[in-house]
Amino acid sequence: MLQRQTQTAAFWRDQFEVTSSDLDFLYTLLLDAQTPKTLEELSLALIQEYMRRENSKIESELAKGKVYLPKERYEVGQTLVFPALDFATGEVIGVRAGQNPEHGDFEVIKVRFAATGQPREFAAGLQSAHRLNQTNGDRLIHDEAMLSAEEVYSLYAGEIDESILYALEEGERSEEFVQVGDQWLLADMLAEVHVGHLNIAEALIEVKGRPLTTDELLADVELDANAGASMQRISLEHALAKDPRFDRVQRDGEPAWFLTRMEPAEVVKTPLALRPTSVRYNRALLSVELLQTEWELDDEWGESTLSSELPTIVPNTSLTLTYPHRRCGTLPLNGRTRSFFPTGGGKATIQFVDGRWSAQYTGWVVNEGRYVTGLGKWMEDHALPVGAIITLERTANPGEILVDFRTRRPKREWARIATPDLDNLRLTFEMNKIQVACEYDEAMIVADTDPEAIDQLREKLVTSSVELPEIVEQIVPELTKLNPAGTVHAKTVYSAVNIVRRCPPGPIFYLLISNPRFRDVGGGFFALA
C-alpha cells in the first residue's frame, strides 16, 4: 500500500525542513491575509499545503494511466500506474494464463516500465483477496484513515515549529518576516514608525510617569492613516520592542510600555541580596521535622514551595518577612503569594494599598527574580522588623493588592543584632532590644547596626569565594552563645545566614545535619557538639 510521507513520524521528525517554496507559500499566505498569524497558524497552514502538494502529485501520477489492481483484467497496449511502486508507469506488452490452484483462474500480465525499460509480471483477474485490491484512485486522494493537519500538528508540533521558526528568524529571507509578540507578519505590511514617533512615545510615558498601553500611545503618536488600527498597533509595538529605551510590561493585566531608565534599579537588575545560591546537597538526610520547617518557611527558591501554590480563590494570605526582602523592600513570589500577582514571565506593575493608612505604593512584579518590589517605604513607615507577619488581601480591582501586618501594642523586644566584621569577613551577634509593634516570628527576628556595611560584607564574601558551608559554620556558634541553653533553632540559622548569603533553607538545614560540629537536639534545635 502507498505510504504518504505526510503521515509518517520519520518525515516530520527527521526529514522536514522549510524550503524556499515553503517560504514563498508563507509569504503569500500573509500577504493575502493582510493580518498577522501565530506560529501555530503558520504551521497548520504549511502542513495543509504539504498535504495538498501530495494530493496534487498523486492526481498527476494517476492521470498517466489506469491504476493497477490485481482483480482487474488488462489488454496489451494499456498504460498502468503502480502506486505501490512510487507511481511507476508501464505498458502491458503481454497477457497469458496464470497457473496456481490456490487462486483459481487468473491471468499474468507482462509490463514494461517506462523508467527502466525492464519487463515485470503481475497477476490480473485475480479473484482471491489481495491487499492491493483495496487501492484505487479515489481512495488514494480521500482516505478517511489519514491524519488531519490538526492531528499531525498535535503529534509533531515541536519539530515543525522549530523548523519554521529557524527559517523565519535566521533563514536567508528572515528580513522579510517580522515577529510582534506571538504573531508573525511581513515587514512590508508594517506602517512606518520613525524616530520622531518614538520620541513622542518616550515623552508621553515620561509625563504620565507610568506604563502606557499601545492604544494610549497611538492617541498622540499619529501613524499612516492608510494602515488599519490593528496594523498601526502592531507596527508601533514592533518599533517599541526594537528600541532599548522601552520595556514591555504588564499593567492591570494588559501589555503596556515603560521607559527602562525610569524603572527602579531592583527591577532592572536583581539585587545581590536576592540572588539565590545554588548548592548541591542530599535532601534525603533532612528529617521530617526539618522538611516541615522548610515548608512553613515557603522560601521562593526552596524545593517545597513548588507544590504549595495557593489557588486564586483564596482571598488572603500571610508570610514572614526575611532579611533580604526587608533590606530590599520586596516580597517573595512563593507558593503562598504567587497567585496574588500577575504571572507569565516578564515584568508587571501592581498597586499596593496600605491596610493601615490607605496610602498607595506602586509595586513591580519581577517574575524571573521571584519577587515583588516597591514596599521599602511602606516597611520603613511602619518600622517592620525581620520576622514580621505580613498579610496580603485581594481587592475588587485585579491590579490592586491590600498589604498589611498584624498589629499589636508597641513593645521593646529582644532581637539578635548582627554586626559585620569586614576585616575578618564574618558576622557577630548580640542580643539587644528593639521596638516592635507587630506580630512576628521569634525564631526569625534579626536586626542590623549598619545595613550598608552588611551590603559590603555580602559582596566581599562573594568576591573572596567564601562558600556557604564556611558561612554556616561561622554563624552557628555566634547564635548558640545567645541562648543560655546553648542551642539555636534551624529557622534562626536560616534567617541569620540570609543576611549575607541568599539561600533557601534546604542546603542550610543539610549543612546543620551533616556537619559533625553540630548536634541535633530535637524540636528543630541544634547545639555545638
**pLDDT tens, 208-249?**
999 999 999 999 999 988 888 889 999 999 999 999 999 999
Residues 423 and 383 in one domain: no
The residue from 158, 184, 210 where one domain ends is 184
Residue 484 has pLDDT above 80, yes or no: yes
In the chain the first and final C-alpha atoms are separated, in Å, by: 78
Contact 104, 127 (CB under 8 A): yes
Is 273 part of any domain?
Answer: no
C-alpha cell at 273: 541580596
Burial 216-249 (b: 16+ CB within 10 A, else e): bbbeebebeeebeeebbbbbbbbbbeebebbbbb
Q: Which residue has the higher pLDDT, 163 or 63?
A: 163
User: Is 281 domain-assigned?
Assistant: no
Answer yes or no: do 54 and 167 share one domain: yes
The tally of domains found in the chain comes to: 5
| Cβ burial 359-382 (10 Å sphere, 16+ → b, else e) | eebebbbbbebbbbbbbbebbeeb
Structural domain includes residue 139? no
Is residue 155 domain-shared with residue 45, that is, in the same domain?
yes
Which structural domain, as residue segments, surrounds residue 53? 5-61+144-184
Nearest to 183 by CA among 45, 348, 35: 35
Instruction: Assess if residue 272 is contained within a domain.
Output: no
Identify the band that residue 464 occupies on the pLDDT scale cut at 50, 70 and 90: very high
Length of the chain: 529
As a whole number, the mean pLDDT across the chain is 91
Averaged pLDDT, 120-126:
89
Q: Tell me the one-letter amino acid at 372.
A: V
For residue 413, report the phi and psi dihedrals to the nearest 5 degrees.
Answer: -120, 155
Domain-located, residue 274: no
CA distances (Å), 528 to each of 110, 472, 515, 521, in order?
A: 96, 12, 10, 10
Same domain, 54 and 177: yes
What pTM, to 2 d.p., does this model score?
Answer: 0.74
Instruction: Assess whether pLDDT exceeds 60 at residue 2.
Output: no
Strand partners, 83: none
- pLDDT-derived band at 448, boundaries 50, 70, 90: very high
pLDDT value, residue 131: 65
3-state SS of 46-95? HHHHHHHHHHHHHHHHHCCCEECCCCCCCCCCCEEEEHHHCCEEEEEEEE
Any idea what the CATH number is for the domain that residue 93 is in?
A: 2.30.30.30
Which of 236, 281, 209 minimizes the C-alpha distance to 467? Answer: 281
Q: For 361-435, where are the alpha helices, taking DSSP H only? A: 376-381
Give the rounded percent of residues in the chain with a pLDDT score beyond 70: 95
Decide if pLDDT at 501 tops 80.
yes
- Please give the C-alpha separations between residue 379 and each of 12, 362, 455, in angstroms, as whole numbers: 56, 14, 19
pLDDT at 406 (0 to 100): 92
Radius of gyration of the chain (CA): 36
Rounded to a whole number, what is the largest CA-CA distance in the chain?
A: 113
- pLDDT band for position 1 (cuts 50, 70, 90): very low
Boundary-marking domain end, from 377, 408, 439: 408
Q: Are residues 224 and 326 in the same domain?
A: no
The DSSP bridge pattern shows strands 487-489 and 426-438 to be unpaired
Query: Are 54 and 172 found together in one domain?
Result: yes
- In the chain, the percentage of residues whose pLDDT exceeds 90 is 75
Residue 87 shares a structural domain with residue 177 = no
User: Is 403 found in the same domain as 296?
Assistant: yes
Does the pLDDT at position 55 exceed 50?
yes
pLDDT in tens, 340-359: 998 877 899 999 999 999 99
By three-state DSSP, how is residue 476 classified? Answer: helix
